[in-house]
Every structure is written in C-alpha cells, then in structure tokens.
Chain A
Amino acid sequence: MTILETRNLVYIYPDGTIALDNVSVKIEMGKKIAFVGCNGSGKSTLFLTLNGTLIPKKGEVLFHGEPVKYDAKSLRELRKNVGIVFQNSDDQLFAPTIYQDVAFGPTNLGYSKEKVKSVVQSTLDYVGLNPLKKKPPHHLSGGQKKRVAIAGIVAMEPEVIILDEPLSNLDPVGADEVMDLLNELNYFGKTIIISTHDVDLAYRWADYVFIMNNHQVIGEGVPENIFRNEELLQRAYLRKPQILEVYEELRRRLLVKANGCPKDIPDLVRILKEPELMWVKVSPDVKEGDSINLGLLHGDFALNYPMEAVNGKVLHIHEDCMAIVELSRHYVRAGSIMIYDTDHHDSNFLRLFISNGDVDTVGAMGKRSKLIAEKDNIHLDITSGVIDRSILNALCGQRCLIITHGGMIYHAFERITHYIKESGINIHVDIINENGDISSLATACTGDVSCVRSSEWG
C-alpha cells in the first residue's frame, strides 16, 4: 500500500535554481526506504516538499492517495503524520532542556498535560535518555543530540519518519544505536525514509532504494539490483558497496559460490567455498584411496573454526608421507545465540546465567539495554553490529548472549532464523528470561523457531 507519493514534482528556488525536476516516487507503507545521491542532488528539498514545508511549482504530493492541501489545518494533519529529523540536530533542538524539546510536538498537538507527560516519559525511556532529561542540549554529545531529535519526532507518533542524513557526524557505536532505533521503529510499523550518500548503509539497511542525481530520480529498485548496476551508480557519482566489491573479487577467483548477493559479512561467509583439497601428513601405512578421519580441524587449518569434523579421502601420497586429501566436512555443532529481554530484567538471574551458562561473548543492542548492562557491571564484548557478530561467532561454535529489549528482540530473532533457513546451519536460538510468556510469544511470532530451540536451555 502506498502511503506517500509524488507526481511530476517540480520545485524551483526563488533565485531560479531548479531543485527538483519532475520527481515521481511512490513510498510503500511500513518499508525502509533510502534516497541515495551525492551532495546537492535534491534529497533534502524533496523531503521538505513531503511534509508540506515547500510548495511545489508543478506536480503534487499525495498522502494516503489524497493530494496534499496547503491550508493550515491539512498541513497540521500532514506534519503530525510525516515527521522530519533534520541533518543538523542543533537546527531542531531549540528548547532549553531535553524534556521540553521532546514535549514540544505533543504540546502543539493539543494533548492534555497528563498525556504530554506520559508520552514524553515513555519516549525518553524508549530511546534511553531519561537520565539526561533535565540537561540543556549543549551539554550533549552528537549521538545523544540525534537521539533527542528522533525522540522529539517519535513523541508525535507519526506514520512516516523522514531522516535527513541520520548518521552524519556520528561515531560507529552512536551510528549503530541510531540504526537499531530505526529498525525497532520500523518493526512496529513506521515507514522510515532516510537520505544518505553512504552506499554501504543503504545497501545493507534499505528495503527499497531511490537513486537521485541532478535533482531527478534516476533509478529505483531493491538494493540487490540497484547496487549491481554499475552504469547507474557511475551516473549518480556513487560507488559500489564495499561488500559487493569484495564478493565480486572473490567470485572472479572462484572462492565463492556464484550468483550470491551478500548483504553483510555473515552472508558472505555463508557463500564462501570451502577448500576441497588439503596437504595432510599421514602415517606410512595409509594407501591412496583410503578414507581417513581427520577429526576436528583446529589450529592453522581452521582458524576460528574449531567445531568442524572432517573426513578425507586420500588421493595421492607424496614423498615424506605428505598426502593430498579430498575433504568432506560437516559441522559438528554450531554455537548458540541466546537473547535476553531487559524488559523483564532480573539482575541476579542474568549475572548467574553469564557466570554459569558458559557464555563466550556478550553483546548488547539498544541504549537502554546497554545502560542496564553497564549498571550491572556486565562486560560487553560486542556493542555494534551485534546480530551479525553474534551469528559469525555462533558459526565458530561460540555461545553468544544478546542483551536487548522491545522490538529489537523480534528483529534479532527474525534475522537469525532467516539466516538459519538460508544457510541450513543449525544455530540454537533461545530467549532465556525466566518468564515463560516471552519465550512462547517469540515462538509464536517466528513460527518455525521450535525446531531450532535447544532443549538444554528449556
């Protein structure tokens, strides 16, 4: 279902420069959309027409299929439902304290005092900024300011959230937290639109991509198609995502399966071709054609891959008892991923679990969970790219714990079960809270999880 649409939009700045030239886009409800283009390609101007700030010269903007009207009442309705987070947080944070800034939108929507209070409180909790609510914005770091700016919009409960360059000037962990937040919002049904010139981000994150150049949309589609179209990328002054380039170089050297389209490192690892032949030192009585059991590979043969059982067929015996062996391998045991829900936090249980549960790595997703982990003195091995790193570690036989909350639990669950389905590698996934309700909820929402749930944590 289309939620926002523009038809042949033309916008010309008062000084005569063309800012939008015949732009027609359709934005599907509940999707993650990225507008990718170099600086000055018209992304920001387009965004300002989407919430009625700029009135197009020609063409029209449609919200829920209805053309946007520019009288005060319709504009209010539109802006309530289409929230914009500006690139520079300082443009947006004008109230003297964080609390007041987040309360600004709800107050202007005419909510009652009590409702404003509860909305602001829950939004601040949600983005993990409650401890800072009485601070003025100039005492905050860039990442915190960005989260306040997002909270200010989220508090108005819009259907569409537009973010202009959400990750500019953020450090990697701060950027990750913002992206986690966006994923969670998207999980609860918000349509998220971002603009960026970071092709890696757009490729990894978006469901659908629009490429802009020279005030026009010059390409659109799912990222797998768009970012393999070299000619299009060149026209837009963009480059290929790094992971695709790595993949293509590997493919040229016959190191990966063909026809893959990896989006992240776990994807890439999945389609790696394993070595078929290997030099092995054998005892003198082994003959060509024999089958030998090499046991578990470790050391230099299997760096970080300790749980692989290998049988080999001896093809040729060289001098000094060195043999060429054809490998047939299978995973003895992939590791497991356990998810802990901090909404039902019990610090004794968690601490006991980490010390007794033989957990190799602990990761936390979302600011609120990170704060809880910090408060309980839990050492975090992973703080960014948590799901991906955990999958990779689990593939290497480790037991990983992800501490998180809310919609991110479902996001992680889906991501992991999807990977299990695609790769056929059985990673145990479980929610480990004592509270049984959540476990069954997760099982219900992902359907086939029961087959991979391990009995050992029942």
Chain B
Amino acid sequence: MTYILDDYALNSPLREKNNWLKILITIFGILVGVSSNSPVTPLVISLCMGFATIHFSKIPPKFYFKIMAAPAGFVLVSAVIISFFTGVGNEIFGFEFFGHRFGVNTDGINMAVLVLARTISGMSCLFFLSLSTPMIELFSVLKTTRFPDSFIEISMMMYRYIFVFMEVAMGIKYAQTVRLGYKDFMTSLKSLGMLGTSLFIRAWEQGEKLYVSMNSRCYDGRLILMEEKKPIKRSDIILTVAYFILVLIVFYSTKNILLIGGIS
C-alpha cells in the first residue's frame, strides 16, 4: 500500500490538537515568511515547522525530506534563473556565451536566496498543516466557516471515493501489467486509454449504486459532521506563543539583513 499525506495525518499525534490553532500557526508562518525581506526569518520558520512536523507529528524524516525535495528542486532551478536575470550591482560571477554576457550580481543572488527561503518556509508551513490535519478534520472547519452544506457534502463524498477509485485503478493497472499491457510505448498508450474508459464507466456505476444505498438509508439531504471539541491545552498555547515571539524577534532583528552585502 502506498502511503499518502492523508494517511500520515490520520495517525499523527497532532491530529488531536485544535484545528484552528494549527491553521493559525500555518497562516502566521506563511504571512511572516512572505513579508520578511531577509532570508533568515523564513529559514527559522521552516526549521521550526520541520522540527514540529518530524518531532511532534511523528513523520518519518526520510518521508518528510522526500516530499520537501520535490518543491525544493523546482525552486532551486527558479533561483538559479532569477540570480542570472535580475538585479543590478557588482557582478560576482559571469561568462560569455555566443557574444552575450551572462552574469550573477549581488542583487540577483540576494533575490534568489530570498525566494528560495520564502518558498521553503511556505512549503514547510503547508506540510505542517497537511501532515497533522487529515481532510476529515478540515471538513468540520469548513462547516464552521459557513461554507454551503452541499459543497461540503460533495467534497466529503469525493474524498471517500478517491480512495475507492485509486484501489480500482491500481487493480486494473496491475491486471494490465501482468498481461504485458505496458511492454512498449504504443501498448502503454492503449492500455492507459482502456484504464480511463473503464474507470469512467465504473465511476458512473458507482454513482448509481451510491444513490441507491443512500436512498435505502432514508437520505433527505443531511450528512453529519464529526463535531468534536478539541480544547486548547495550556502547553499548546505556551508553545505557540513562544514560537510566535521567537519568529517576530527574528523578523525585527534581521530586518534588511541580506546574504551578501550585509545591511542595506
């Protein structure tokens, strides 16, 4: 069985914590990270969030770094490009290419590092939320924010059946693989087409079955939401406030500190 984010979130000890608190921490992290113009604050945020995710949420570090690696790789490439094409200032590195000068200057590199740090801190905040709060809990958050009921109900059912279809799709794919359905490019395309078709038909059938089974249980337009009171403990508040204060102090004291060029 392949583990996905939601599976980790379901087993996370932080699942029992207040959802709003977790959302607050996430939003705070993202806002402060983005509004900081020195790369230090975002880095501190991502370190804290990473620590919280691995230590409190009990996510295996290997998995955490793996899912961080995907966006990080992306941002790294963008950072390289940004460093070459933006800013003015002293050139620290450069080369001639077909008579055209490509150079990296201090402004560019500062900008690149800032973008890199901000993105990583944003990602770590989002992963903190998604690895500690399963979808199920977010539905009740949506409910309290007065989202239309039908919207929440449809998304609840979508959530449930994503897994049913994943299982069906994997089953079909396996059945195709063992009969050499993916032996070369053309057969792969054909098999993939068949997979899509049969999934579409299955989805349709499943819809009908769902309708019958809901009707059999007297459906009249009401699904219940898990409404659970999750009181915020004193230790949670202390830890959160300590984190906020730390980040804010770093935010003020590192204002305008740049990687290269010192205080501007």
Contacts and interface: CB of A to CB of B under 8 A. Distances in A.
Contact of B160 (A86, A88, A109, A137): A137
B206 to A, nearest CB: 7
B224 A136 contact: no
Nearest to A79: B218
Interface in A302-316: none
Contacts of A99: 226
Nearest to A153: B217
Nearest to A133: B226
A375 to B, nearest CB: 21
Contact of A53 (B136, B164, B212): B212
B138 to A, nearest CB: 10
Given A96-B136, A97-B136, A116-B224, A152 B160 contact: no
A94 B226 contact: no
Interface in B132-184: 134-136, 139, 156-157, 159-161, 163-164, 167
Count chain A CB atoms within 10 A of each CB in B139, B161, B210, B217 and give the residue with the most: B217
Given A100-B224, A100-B225, A86 B135 contact: no
B261 to A, nearest CB: 52
Contact of B218 (A76, A93, A94, A139): A76
Given A53-B216, A153-B217, A94 B10 contact: no
Contacts, number: 89
* Chain A interface helix/strand/loop/mixed: helix
Nearest to A116: B224
Interface string A11-32: 0000000000000000000000
Contact of A105 (B139, B159, B218): B218
Given A83-B217, A134-B226, 15 more contacts: A48-B212, A53-B212, A79-B216, A79-B218, A94-B213, A94-B214, A96-B160, A104-B214, A104-B224, A108-B220, A116-B224, A136-B136, A138-B163, A152-B217, A156-B217
12 contacts: A94-B213, A96-B159, A100-B223, A107-B224, A108-B218, A108-B219, A109-B218, A134-B136, A136-B134, A136-B163, A139-B10, A152-B217
Interface of A: 48, 51, 53, 76, 79-80, 83-84, 86, 88, 90-97, 99-100, 103-105, 107-109, 116, 134-139, 152-153, 156
